[in-house]
């Protein structure tokens, strides 16, 4: 059964995106070799990628470009070749190669994906998808990268979650650029 991992960067004050949806703050310190190796290692992990429409639009507008191939060749190759699923009620088609568009019930679709044989599944960004699936107890591991900055306002992660989600710490990692990776799993 595939494992579902959610990976998202957040600020110290708990925002996963600026009020306009921007995430440029999450890509500030590209000079940290350890951080870059971690990002490349995650990209090499394989599996199936899951996005909401907003994150999909951001990713699809960057990773297939020549700029991405020049700046991040390893990550670009993986992002472009891995199978992808985008959940959207508004998209008519998904043009990024290897992308399946799902317009229906997100939780039901993920339950099916987790029952099918195949590679692990990773949600990248997509705060609203993470919130919905966490509340349904469908995420096996939550990986938060805490960025050492305060936005002051933006889009909060877990906005609208109606009940307490108890988690247990699985691991931590500190990077030279000040980012901290916190990994959590469901508390059973």
- For the segment 123-172, what is each residue's pLDDT rounded down to a tens digit? 988 888 999 999 999 999 999 999 999 999 999 988 888 889 999 999 99
pTM over 0.85: yes
- For the segment 14-34, what is each residue's pLDDT rounded down to a tens digit? 999 998 888 888 877 667 888
Question: Burial code of 1-26, b = ≥16 C-beta within 10 A, e = fewer?
Answer: ebebbbbbbbbeebbbbbeeeebeeb
Q: Which residues pair with 186 in a beta bridge?
A: 167
- For the segment 83-139, what is each residue's pLDDT rounded down to a tens digit? 999 999 999 999 999 999 999 899 999 999 999 998 999 998 888 899 999 999 999
Question: Burial code of 106-120, b = ≥16 C-beta within 10 A, e = fewer?
Answer: beebbeebbeeeeeb
Cβ 14 vs Cβ 157: under 8 Å: yes
3-state secondary structure of 156: strand
What's residue 45's pLDDT? 65
Q: Which two tokens stand for residue 55?
A: 């994150």
Cβ 70 vs Cβ 54: under 8 Å: no
Number of structural domains, the chain?
Answer: 1
CATH number at residue 153: 3.40.430.10
| Domain range enclosing 47 | 4-186
Cβ 124 vs Cβ 49: under 8 Å: yes
Q: Please report which helix (H) or strand (E) contains residue 179, including its range.
A: none
């Amino acid at each position: 059964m595939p494992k579902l991992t959610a990976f998202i960067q957040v600020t110290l004050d708990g925002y996963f995106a600026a009020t306009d949806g921007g995430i440029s703050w999450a890509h500030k310190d590209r000079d940290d070799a350890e951080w870059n190796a971690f990002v490349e290692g995650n990209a090499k992990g394989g599996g199936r990628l899951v996005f909401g429409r907003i994150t999909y639009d951001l990713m699809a507008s960057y990773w297939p470009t020549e700029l991405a191939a020049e700046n991040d060749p390893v990550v670009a190759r993986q992002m472009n070749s891995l199978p992808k699923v985008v959940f959207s009620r508004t998209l008519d088609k998904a043009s990024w190669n290897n992308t399946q568009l799902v317009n229906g019930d997100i939780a039901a679709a993920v339950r099916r994906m987790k029952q099918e044989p195949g590679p692990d599944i990773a949600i990248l960004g997509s705060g609203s998808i993470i919130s919905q699936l966490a509340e349904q107890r469908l995420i096996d591991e939550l990986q938060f990268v805490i960025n050492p900055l305060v936005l002051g306002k933006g889009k909060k992660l877990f906005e609208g979650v109606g009940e307490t989600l108890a988690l247990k710490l699985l691991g931590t990692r500190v990077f030279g650029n000040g980012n901290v990776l916190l990994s959590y799993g469901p508390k059973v």
